């Protein structure tokens, strides 16, 4: 039986395995089985904490609900940081992910602030299949042209600014956009409604997962896209289905800071070979 912690950041939920002291033999098939809400534990993403080596306090791997790996998951990063902050009594920890090094600081109570570094704005870095101005371009879908923005927060994002995020056809358009050839590594898709200069309502289709209650990388990508278009200030509240994240894109160093809460509802054990 393998121990795990069930966690969530604004309802975006995770099964977290700790492989720092003993290996966790997790395959893509195992990860997919764990995420199943009827036959497994149930979550959006499976997370594995590993030794960080000389660079970081720990390294983190993320597995989507379809078994594929994700380069980054900021909500999960925040949750892992909370575990380590509480475990070690620290004010700050450094986590290594495939999307880069994340500096995570205690923001009081259950909240954590993550310095996720600078967004990647060049079309080759997202990546996209052809050159466009990632601030604002036309996305071709089923004979229609949809205005969009693109940014990488360690993983690819396509942001659509819509008049009503709640009414947006996320389940219909999300998977179609995710799998367009224009996105060689597929993409997350955000449907964002600017409420005022300091607030955005956003809903998300996560690559390899589907509709989720929150997405940290998506909130950061949305805020960056809105700021680039001049729609908001450099500090903005992003309201997701599961709650709010505060996002700041600092002018002095170009880094994005994300602050939000975490929760760990329960711990358990699972037989990975029997799922």
- Residues annotated as part of the active site: 73, 215
Q: How far is CA 224 from CA 88, 121, 153, 240, in A?
A: 33, 10, 10, 16
Give the pairing type, strands 45-51 and 12-18.
Answer: parallel
* 3-state secondary structure (DSSP) of residue 225: helix
- Give rounded-to-5 percent helix, strand, coil for the chain: 15, 40, 40
Are the C-beta atoms of 218 and 202 separated by less than 8 Å?
yes
Are the C-beta atoms of 165 and 202 separated by less than 8 Å?
yes
Question: Nearest Cα to 166, choosing from 245, 241, 247, 219?
Answer: 241
Are the C-beta atoms of 72 and 155 separated by less than 8 Å?
yes
Question: Nearest Cα to 71, choosing from 61, 81, 56, 82?
Answer: 61
String of DSSP letters for 45-90: EEEEEEE-TTT-SEEEEEE-TTS-EES--HHHHHHHHHHHHHHHT-
Question: Nearest Cα to 250, choosing from 258, 261, 242?
Answer: 258
């Amino acid at each position: 039986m393998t121990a795990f912690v069930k966690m969530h950041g604004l309802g975006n939920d995770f099964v977290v395995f700790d492989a720092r002291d003993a290996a966790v033999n997790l395959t893509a098939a195992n990860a997919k089985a764990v995420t199943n809400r009827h036959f497994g534990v149930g979550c959006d993403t499976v997370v594995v904490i590993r030794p960080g080596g000389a660079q970081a306090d720990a390294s983190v791997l993320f597995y989507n609900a379809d078994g594929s790996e994700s380069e980054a998951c900021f909500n999960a990063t925040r949750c892992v940081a909370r575990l380590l902050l509480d475990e070690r009594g620290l004010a700050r920890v450094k986590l290594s992910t495939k999307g880069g090094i994340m500096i995570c600081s205690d923001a009081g109570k259950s909240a954590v602030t993550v310095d996720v570094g600078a967004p990647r704005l060049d079309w080759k870095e997202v990546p996209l299949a052809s050159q466009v101005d990632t601030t604002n371009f036309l996305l071709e879908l089923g004979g229609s042209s949809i205005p969009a923005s693109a940014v990488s927060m360690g993983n690819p994002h396509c942001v659509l600014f819509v008049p009503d995020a709640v009414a947006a056809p996320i389940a219909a358009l999300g998977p179609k956009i995710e799998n367009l050839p224009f996105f060689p590594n597929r993409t997350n898709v955000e449907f964002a409604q600017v409420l005022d200069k300091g607030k955005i309502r956003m809903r998300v289709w996560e690559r390899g997962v589907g509709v989720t209650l929150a997405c940290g990388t998506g909130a950061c990508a949305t805020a960056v896209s809105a700021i680039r278009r001049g729609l908001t200030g450099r500090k903005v509240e992003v309201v997701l289905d599961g709650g709010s994240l505060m996002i700041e894109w600092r002018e002095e160093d170009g880094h994005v800071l994300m602050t939000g809460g975490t929760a760990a509802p329960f711990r358990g054990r699972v037989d990975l070979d029997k799922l």
